[in-house]
Amino acid sequence: MGASEPTMHRIQLGMELEQLRTQSGRDREQVAERLGWYPTKVGKVETGAATLSAAEVEVLLGYFEADEATAERVRQLGKEARRRGNYGKVSDWARTYVGMEAGASEILLFAEELIPGLLQTEDYAREVAKASVLAKASDIDQLVKRRVERREKLYSTTPPQLSVVLSEGTLKRRIGGTAVMTEQLELLCDLAELQHVAMQVLPFSAGSHASLGTSFTILRLRNNHKRTVYVEDITSADYLDRPHHLDTYNLVYERLRMEALGLNESKSMLKQTIEELGAGR
């Protein structure tokens, strides 16, 4: 499947349930009321960000009056979605993202403070993990290994189209010291040369912008072209798929791209920052 199979089954399950809900003429709020959920949980289920018990699946199938053939297909998807993937020590709320990222045909990233996990070197990722209050010291090696493995897809025969806008702050924040940052920036330079990667830097001189204080990712899945916005904080994450979310974040991303340096200028800034690190500035 490319992505983690349980994740992709959750996504497929969510799509089936969303279609059944729409066909039944019910909105998310009605479903939430029927099952005693918060309305946001319905959205998480339909984007594949939440797992359902067998009992919950049965209630939904009855509520949507699904025919037996559809019901059996949905039950099987639910069963597969409840399997645990091989995520190691990745936090529960981030596991869906890792699976979705692996199955994406297009990834749009905006990062304001930290180099995104997909693009991190081993040493940079280790420094980030060590600074976390959630990561146990005994889990760090496995966390780093899993994070670095995610980058392999960028060198595959069918890589995702990757567009990245990095705030200048991500380049200037000294994570782990000079050697670690130099290696990290050199990796970004190498990635920027790949044909399927567009990497831009949003300089401090751009001033205020449309996503101050918020880093985010927009994913388009390979199997169904469904788009999802992923926004992460310290202890949780949101998966957003409603039209007004998608329209807003796409507009914000386009503005960030327009305000960022061009591709060649961005490469020059990366190289200049490496030189400044070497000069001890």
From first to last of the 281 residues of the chain, give the pLDDT tens digit: 444 567 778 888 888 899 999 999 999 999 999 999 988 899 889 888 888 999 999 999 999 999 998 999 899 888 888 876 555 555 666 777 887 888 889 999 999 999 999 999 999 999 999 998 888 888 899 889 989 999 999 999 999 999 999 999 999 999 999 999 999 999 999 999 999 999 999 999 999 999 999 999 999 987 667 888 999 988 888 888 888 999 999 999 999 999 999 999 999 999 999 999 988 76
Residue 8: closest CA among 99, 127, 71, 85: 99
Identify the helix (H) or strand (E) that includes residue 244: helix 243-259
Compute how many other C-beta atoms are within 10 angstroms of the C-beta atom of residue 7.
24
**Same-domain pairing of 161 and 36:** no
**Same-domain pairing of 113 and 233:** yes
3-state secondary structure of 54: helix
Compute how many other C-beta atoms are within 10 angstroms of the C-beta atom of residue 218.
22
3-state secondary structure of 240: strand
**Same-domain pairing of 101 and 227:** yes
Residue matched to tokens 């994450």: 237
pTM recorded for the entire structure: 0.75
**Same-domain pairing of 58 and 107:** no
Q: What is the pLDDT of residue 92?
A: 61
| 86, part of any domain | no
Between CA 222 and CA 100 the distance in angstroms is 9
Look at the chain and report how many structural domains it folds into.
2
Q: What is the pLDDT of residue 89?
A: 52
**Same-domain pairing of 144 and 205:** yes
* Complete edge-to-edge strand list for the sheet that includes strand 227-232: 197-202, 161-167, 104-111, 216-221, 227-232, 237-240
All residues at 6 or more sequence positions from 219 whose CB lies less than 8 Å from its CB, including other chains: 100, 101, 104, 106, 107, 108, 227, 228, 229, 230
**Same-domain pairing of 104 and 145:** yes
| 87, part of any domain | no
**Same-domain pairing of 56 and 135:** no
Cβ–Cβ < 8 Å for 106, 159: no
Any idea what the CATH number is for the domain that residue 15 is in?
Answer: 1.10.260.40
**Same-domain pairing of 130 and 193:** yes
Q: What is the pLDDT of residue 2?
A: 44
> Among 81, 110, 143, where does a domain finish?
81
Structural domain including 71 reads 5-81
Q: What is the pLDDT of residue 48?
A: 83
Q: What is the pLDDT of residue 82?
A: 82
Q: What is the pLDDT of residue 7?
A: 76
Between CA 254 and CA 251 the distance in angstroms is 5
**Same-domain pairing of 174 and 245:** yes
How crowded is the C-beta side of 81, counted as CA atoms within 13 Å? 27
**Same-domain pairing of 159 and 203:** yes
| 202, part of any domain | yes
> Among 28, 48, 81, where does a domain finish?
81
